[in-house]
Amino acid sequence: DGGITQSPKYLFRKEGQNVTLSCEQNLNHDAMYWYRQDPGQGLRLIYYSQIVNDFQKGDIAEGYSVSREKKESFPLTVTSAQKNPTAFYLCASSIAGVSPEQYFGPGTRLTVT
Amino acid sequence: AQRVTQPEKLLSVFKGAPVELKCNYSYSGSPELFWYVQYSRQRLQLLLRHISRESIKGFTADLNKGETSFHLKKPFAQEEDSAMYYCALREIQGAQKLVFGQGTRLTINP
């Protein structure tokens, strides 16, 4: 079954702890993305990667970190420096090239208390 | 800076009535515009893109460069159209990242 998976679906953490969200795809896509979805604000890009071992900051990268050691995987770490980490996080992937459609995962809802 | 604005957070229409979800953008170059949709308990997915000039599930959207708009339209709304709709913009040159609008929640009343 091909697609993009995120785990876990729900995640709870205490303030001050780092937490890593998983994103895996078996679509053979070169590009992967992390978005944060908040009510009334749409999707905002956190980080993206167009190729293995390379990634760029998006619009709201502060307090987040990523790695892209494998084509299939693009984990996102929410660090304790992120001031408002409670949100819904979406991962996406796409092929390289003109007008690539982005395929989205089911999302992870992170709650930090 | 590129920006996408969807002025309506909520839109409610009756079944069979026409629907128009507004999207305006600001971008200095030639953009690519998309509409993404998220049905209840489903993933966000592409609905249509302006370069395809296609009609998907009865929806169409025309890029109006003069008015910098990409409104989504359907002549006769159906209950299954109820969903969250996002307009998105991508630069034709450069990184393949999308800028999303704030989203419009469309509710079709029976």
**Residues A64-103 pLDDT 10s:** 999 999 999 999 999 988 889 999 999 999 987 766 789 9
CA distance B75 to chain A (A): 26
Instruction: Kindly identify which residue of chain B lies nearest to residue A106, measuring between CA atoms.
Output: B43
Residue B67 CA: distances (Å) to CA of B23, B31, B50, B75: 10, 13, 15, 21
Three-state DSSP at A57 gives: strand
Q: How far is B21 from chain A (nearest CA, A)?
A: 15
Residue A93 contacts B, CB cutoff 8 Å? no
Indicate yes or no: CB of B95 within 8 angstroms of CB of A48.
yes
CA dihedral A97, A103, A109, A112 (to 10 degrees): -10
| Cα separation values, A9 from A106, B13, B34, Å | 8, 32, 27
Give chain A positions within 8 Å (CB) of B101: 42
Q: pLDDT-based confidence at B95, cuts 50/70/90? A: low
pLDDT of residue A4: 96
CB-based burial label for B83 (10 Å; 0-12, 13-18, 19+): buried
Instruction: Evaluate whether B86 touches B47 at the Cβ level (below 8 Å).
Output: no
pLDDT tens digits, one per residue of B47-94: 998 888 788 899 999 889 899 999 999 999 999 999 999 999 987 766
Measured between beta carbons, the chain B residues lying within 8 angstroms of A103 are: 45
CB contact under 8 A, A101 and B46: yes
